[in-house]
Each structure stands twice: as structure tokens, then as C-alpha cells.
């Protein structure tokens, strides 16, 4: 809400920017706020991987949970924070606006959004120069982001798949009621993998990879980056809707509220 970030993809490049000046900050200070914003995104997907690891160990390998107890929990916080720094600083230093990137977007920004380029703060990636040669400094930013996303997503998928197969073997010896509860939790698990895939990973993946194909496309990505904000609410709604006991509790709360 403070930074009001936006994104726009044009042919072989994209720009991640803001036209706002919160607290009357300078252009460079506003750019650092965008660094912080993008770093928080990386922290979010890294923390999601930590959550899945916790779930897996809590069910199948409790002795490993020592890392989540007491001061050691700071290790998990440090893990997410380091990836946040890697993402944010990578964007700042590898996607800095140079003369070619400015000339590539300056006219389009004016035509599309009626905004003077000198009024914006942000980062620009242009994958190829005028001769068609790869601009490796910018492409390295995409490689850095790809590494972070793939690393976290692999942890999420590994834990989810292992939980599925190991839970299937354990569920056979449970009572019918517990078996039903485990199946509900598995549906929750599947949806909690699909939801961040759609709301967190896909929009960013499309944005950072479109320039590599150099398609003749002009796509405002503001609405897609807004999906990043949907995830926290949907994660809670999934649990409340799928798990029968939670759903009954929510209905009871609503009925009491409407009755009063």
C-alpha cells in the first residue's frame, strides 16, 4: 500500500516500478523500498518451504523438530531472510536502469501510462541489446530469481509427495474416523500446494521469462502482481473449508453472530 508497485512487460524486457513518493522520499530511497518489497516476496516463498518441512517432520520425523524450538527457531528466520536479501539485492544491482534500458522503455511508458520516465523509480530488465546480443547482467538476475524459486518449490514438492506416499501407508491401520480426517488434511495439503503455485510462483515466472522469448507483446502486469496478496487469506480459507470440523466451527460462529 505504501510503495504501490507496478510491472509492465514489453517485448524483450520488463520494468518493475512505482510512481509514488511515500513520505516524500527521494527516487533512490523509493527504489530501495521496492528492493524491500521484492525481498519480502522471496522471504514468503522461502518461509513456505520451511512450513512444509515442519509439517513433514512433525508427522514422520519428530526428533528433527529441535530446530524449531527455542532460540533455534531463529535459524528458520535467518534462512528466509538470506533468500530475501539475495533476491532484493540481485534485482537492485543486476537490473539497474542504464541508458539502453531507459531508451527501450521511456517512450512506451509515456504512451501507455502518460507518465514521465524521470518520475518513476524501479528496475528494468532487457534481455537483448539492439544487435540481438544477450545482456548477461540482466539475464543473471533472471537466473538468480529462478534458482531461489526452484530451490524453494523443490522443497515444497518433495515434502508434499513424501507426505502423500507415507501417509497412504499409515492411513490403512487407522480407524475410519481418523482415516477420513487424514484424507481431509491431504486435500488441504494438495490445495495448499496448488494455491501458492498459482498466486505466488506463476505470475512472477511469467513476468521474468517473457523477455527471453522476445515476443511482440505489451502486457501490464499490475493485476498479476496483485495476486501475491491473495495467498495469505486463501491459505486460511482452504483449511477452514476442507476440514469438516473447522467448517462446522465456522458455521456455528456465523450462526451465533447472526442470531445476536
> How many Cβ atoms are within 10 Å of 231's Cβ, its own excluded?
17
Q: Is 35 in contact with 96 (CB distance < 8 Å)? A: no
In a domain, 252, yes or no: no
The per-residue pLDDT for 84 is: 96
Distance of alpha carbon 231 from alpha carbon 244, whole angstroms? 22
Q: Is 138 in contact with 125 (CB distance < 8 Å)? A: yes
Write out the residue range of the structural domain in which residue 144 sits.
6-178+198-222
Q: How many domains does the chain have?
A: 1
In a domain, 1, yes or no: no
How does the average pLDDT of the chain come out, rounded?
89
pLDDT tens figures, 81-118: 999 999 999 999 999 999 999 999 999 898 888 888 88
Distance of alpha carbon 192 from alpha carbon 26, whole angstroms? 40
> How many Cβ atoms are within 10 Å of 116's Cβ, its own excluded?
11
The per-residue pLDDT for 161 is: 87
Q: What is the DSSP letter of 134?
A: B
pLDDT tens figures, 207-246: 999 999 999 889 888 877 777 788 888 888 888 888 888 8
Distance of alpha carbon 126 from alpha carbon 138, whole angstroms? 7
Q: Is 11 helix (H, G, I), strand (E, B) or coil?
A: coil
In a domain, 109, yes or no: yes
In a domain, 42, yes or no: yes
Contacts of 57 (CB under 8 A, 6+ apart): 64, 65
Its pTM stands at 0.88
Amino acid at each position: 500500500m505504501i510503495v504501490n508497485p507496478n510491472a509492465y512487460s514489453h517485448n524483450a524486457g520488463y520494468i518493475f516500478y512505482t510512481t509514488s513518493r511515500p513520505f516524500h522520499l527521494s527516487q533512490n530511497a523509493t527504489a530501495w523500498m521496492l528492493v524491500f518489497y521484492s525481498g519480502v516476496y522471496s522471504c514468503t516463498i522461502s518461509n513456505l518451504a520451511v512450513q512444509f518441512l515442519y509439517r513433514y517432520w512433525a508427522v514422520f520425523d519428530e526428533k528433527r523438530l529441535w530446530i524449531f524450538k527455542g532460540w533455534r527457531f531463529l535459524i528458520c528466520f535467518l534462512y528466509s531472510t538470506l533468500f530475501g536479501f539475495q533476491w532484493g539485492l540481485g534485482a537492485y544491482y543486476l537490473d539497474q536502469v542504464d541508458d539502453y534500458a531507459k531508451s527501450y522503455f521511456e517512450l512506451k511508458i509515456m504512451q501507455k501510462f502518460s507518465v514521465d520516465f524521470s518520475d518513476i523509480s524501479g528496475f528494468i530488465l532487457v534481455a537483448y541489446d539492439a544487435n540481438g546480443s544477450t545482456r548477461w547482467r540482466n539475464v543473471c538476475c533472471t537466473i538468480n530469481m529462478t534458482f531461489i524459486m526452484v530451490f524453494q518449490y523443490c522443497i515444497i514438492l518433495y515434502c508434499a509427495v513424501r507426505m502423500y506416499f507415507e501417509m497412504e501407508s499409515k492411513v490403512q491401520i487407522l480407524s475410519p474416523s481418523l482415516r477420513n480426517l487424514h484424507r481431509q488434511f491431504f486435500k488441504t495439503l494438495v490445495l495448499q500446494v496448488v494455491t501458492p503455485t498459482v498466486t505466488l510462483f506463476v505470475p512472477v515466472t511469467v513476468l521474468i521469462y517473457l523477455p527471453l522469448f522476445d515476443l511482440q507483446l505489451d502486457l501490464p502486469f499490475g493485476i498479476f502482481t496483485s495476486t501475491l496478496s491473495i495467498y495469505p487469506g486463501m491459505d486460511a480459507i482452504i483449511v477452514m473449508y476442507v476440514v469438516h470440523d473447522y467448517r462446522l466451527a465456522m458455521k456455528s460462529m456465523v450462526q451465533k453472530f447472526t442470531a445476536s
